[in-house]
A and B are shown apart, each in its own frame.
Chain A
Amino acid sequence: MITLRRLGRGRVLLWLLVAAGALTAGARFIWGLGAVTNLSDHFPWGVWIGFDVMVGVALAAGAFTLNGTVHILHLDRYHPLLRPAVLTGFLGYLMVVIALFVDLGRPWNIWHPVVMWNPHSVMFEVAWCVMLYSAILALEFGQSVLERLRLWRLLDIAQRSITPLVVAAVILSTLHQSSLGSLFLIAPGRLHPLWYTPLLPVLFFVSAVAVGLAMATIEGAVAARIFKHRFDLPLFVGLSRVTLVILSIYLGLKVIDLTVRGAWSLLLAPGVERAMFAAEVGIGVVLPLLLLSVNHYSRSAAGITMSSVLVVLGVVLNRLNVAVTGMLRGSGTMYIPAWTEILITLAIIAAGILVYLWAMEHLPIVPRQAPAGAARAE
């Protein structure tokens, strides 16, 4: 196993963050949500929903995009990227569930959607999808554990049942990635018209696919840097070509949407909305599109990593804009997250990083020296 002395000091910091977050969460469970958040009746959802849940789910999309690539399209050369993507996907959903436990007012009832149904509710659908999809990710992630424990028979069964599981995983992901956008369709009076559009679910889904690929690339780059894995450039060039296509579709949809709704004039009105909208589309869509269109950058590790980071930034901005920035004016109130809200968010991220590092060191996540062809040989 790889030892990481370099990360020693970093880990202490991460553990301190987790501890501070746990204390803050304790305060929240004793004195209520009002004690640690700046949320109010007019602004009921803040960064925990906007970042921890909405961004968290989006950034975990790499698991389903690569699952589809490897197990549906049978592009076996991407197999080495699959396990890292499943790991981060699984951890991402775990982090989302932890955030929900903190954010929900009555978290001990979190299981209620299982037995108390309201098929009209977008939230009901999201709850079911996240629940089932997390279970599938757990099963898939479990393969690494089975391999580590050398339970070959069980591993064999798990690998044989992968196709139906992946079909279910892609269906569930399509549904809830888009539904996180549909959540806001019921609030036409609140969400700013730069973001409020009947296309919200479509835009959320398309951007989730793009950011899933971008996350897989970043994970590859991080693994190359920290764990000294090989950065298999041709693979990532392949991914970035797809990203280029998807980003183009996304930009096209945005342009059509703004045109059809006659919303371009909204960009003339000065305000925080216009600036944030421009930042989101400029940084997250236009810039990476430009980068990936230039031959020099689209074939270099640095160029591809850079454009992936931009795509991730863009999706982070987009989800935060829909959940927070775009809701400010319509809510008629001010919301700036409390430092305790940000602390808990950071603590959850820190916990995620710690588990990720542990898993990378102790579980067979990245095939060591094994070329992609080895997995194919039967």
Chain B
Amino acid sequence: MSLTRRHLLKLAAAGALGVTVVGPRRATAAMTLPAATAVLVDVARCIGCRQCEGACKAYHGFPPGLSTDLAPNAFTYVQVRRLRKPLPHLTLGEGSADRRSYKVQCWNCAEPACASACPVAALRKTPEGPVTYDPYRCIGCRYCQLACPFHIPRFEWHRALPVITKCNMCAERLAKGLEPVCVSVCPAHALQFGPRRQILAEAASRIADHPDRYVPAIYGVEEVGGTSWLYVSDVPFEDLGFPVVVRQALPNYTWRVMGKIPGAVVAIGATLTAVETVIRRRMEMQRQGERERR
């Protein structure tokens, strides 16, 4: 979240030029793909009407009503946060100075920890951006829940035949050239869908155009290696309760070990075989020597 101004300008310039913007480390595969899409959430613009939540529930056939947390029948909800330091709301003004609202859902990470953790590839990253879930593969181990840095996947704890649930960015709508259903209903233009490069450029230019309004940070650019949902805000993300996460993609943490396994198998196997052979030969020779002495 400590995006410097210089960094930001670089970002805006890069975005304008259509160059892929990456963190200081390396380009993540999903981000460099031209097909990668993203959604920008503008916390400053969100009026907390919760139409995104309603549209999501209607689209998925979930019972209507307001949720206060993610659930198997709530892939998204609108979080309302009291502010310690009040700041007049962009459109609602003084009346809403003491709080902000923002949409919460799966971040559909560029390099998702859940997809890396899943032993049967039930969770997958698609080139278009969404992280999808296939219940027919799932074994219900819940390692995805443990791996997710944002505590997003939900499990049906009270079902005999449970599945994992989470927002998949309306992958099936994206495939038809549509935008996620929540984006399509937002009356405040707080949600914007598009190619990730374009969305990054848009986020950067909003901050550059109104440096007095926005905090100079885009949440999701570098967080856990980048996410498909990007947030800009007029109050610090810490105050909104956004988690402080590592900058590196989480699959790297386990791949560092997993990548060594083929070599380890060969090395251990060869060592054991060699040791066994040498010791056995020696014992055979010793026995032979004893026999000869007799």
Could you tell me which A residues sit within 8 Å of B by CB distance? Answer: 29-35, 37, 39-42, 44-45, 68, 71-74, 104-107, 109-110, 112-113, 116-127, 163, 167, 170-171, 174-175, 178-179, 182-183, 185-190, 198, 201, 327, 331-332
Contacts and interface: CB of A to CB of B under 8 A. Distances in A.
Contact of A118 (B120, B276, B283): B120
A191 B113 CA distance: 15
B158 A190 contact: no
A204 to B, nearest CB: 11
B175 interface: no
Given A104-B140, A107-B140, 10 more contacts: A33-B157, A105-B162, A121-B119, A124-B120, A167-B269, A170-B272, A175-B264, A182-B258, A185-B253, A189-B246
Contacts of B139: 104-107, 109-110, 112-113
Contacts of A110: 139
Interface string B135-160: 00111111101110101011111111
B255 interface: yes
B162 A106 contact: yes
A120 B145 contact: no
Contact of B121 (A118, A126, A179, A201): A118
Nearest 5 CB-CB pairs, A to B? A105-B140, A34-B157, A106-B140, A44-B142, A123-B119
Contacts of B261: 125, 175
Interface in B238-289: 243, 245-246, 250-251, 253-258, 261, 264-265, 268-269, 272-273, 275-276, 279-280, 283
B116 A120 contact: yes
A44 B279 contact: no
B166 to A, nearest CB: 10
Contacts of A73: 275-276, 279
A72 B275 contact: yes
Assign chain B's interface to a size class: 35 or more
B254 A118 contact: no
Contacts of B162: 32-33, 105-106
A37 B161 CA distance: 16
A174 B146 contact: no
A109 B272 contact: no
B145 A104 contact: no
Contact of B273 (A68, A117, A167): A167
A119 B118 CA distance: 10
Interface in B80-118: 113, 116-118
A122 B258 contact: yes
Nearest to A172: B265
Nearest to A332: B151
